[in-house]
Amino acid sequence: MLSQKVAPDLKASDESVRLQEVKLSDYISKYIDGNYFDITSLINDDFVITMKLLWNAKHYNSNLKLLLSFIDTMAFVSTGKSNPNSFKGWLKKYVHLNKIGITEDELWEHRNAILHLSTYESNKVRNGNIRKLVPYAGQNSPPESKNHCYYSLYELQMEIFQAIGRYLTEMEKNDKMREIFCDNYEKTVSDTHFTHHV
């Protein structure tokens, strides 16, 4: 089972990012300690815990959908853009997809099919222009197929978690990057800043 605590490989090198004159909403106050903004815990609370809950409950398809949506979110908060180039660019910069045996273009098409149609076949896959990806859970890969490529959902998820650590480590040394993250994160919706009306 995946631990519901922040995995060690999810941490930036000093577990936090220095806060420098960034205006943030009240929900963020629990993540601020003096001059430090604990972005690792913010991301963990907003996304990672739910992904781990879904995985541990064996809701693998829902886990995959949230994981792909999370990559979209990370690409958006990093660039302020939401398009194929930002999605694939974030993957190329921070995620080692070669370990999984898939490419950025393949994962983009996989994302389109899964999030919009709940299928593994995007238009490009159906037309034979790109390889179909099929995730699996478990320790042993299914037999190879000429029609598609199996990949480990667990391995992809762990690699994305490690990529968050790479991203946050880079942010520690880059004030502009931190400012862009904070400005764009304010525009996202998540559990930490969801409207509760009593």
What residues make up the domain containing 75? Answer: 16-189
Q: Tell whether 76 is covered by a domain.
A: yes
Provide the residue-wise pLDDT of the chain in tens; the chain has 198 residues: 554 444 444 444 444 555 555 554 567 778 888 878 889 999 999 999 999 999 999 999 999 999 999 999 999 999 999 999 999 999 999 999 999 999 999 999 999 999 999 999 999 999 999 999 999 999 888 888 888 999 999 999 999 999 999 999 999 889 999 999 989 998 888 877 776 555
Domains in the chain, number:
1
Q: Tell whether 38 is covered by a domain.
A: yes
Q: Tell whether 2 is covered by a domain.
A: no
Q: Tell whether 7 is covered by a domain.
A: no
Q: Tell whether 96 is covered by a domain.
A: yes
CA R_g for the chain: 17
pTM of the model: 0.83
The answer to whether 31 and 183 are in contact (CB under 8 A) is no
d(CA 123, CA 84): 15
Q: Tell whether 129 is covered by a domain.
A: yes
Q: Tell whether 4 is covered by a domain.
A: no
Q: Tell whether 196 is covered by a domain.
A: no
Quick one: tokens of 55?
């995985």
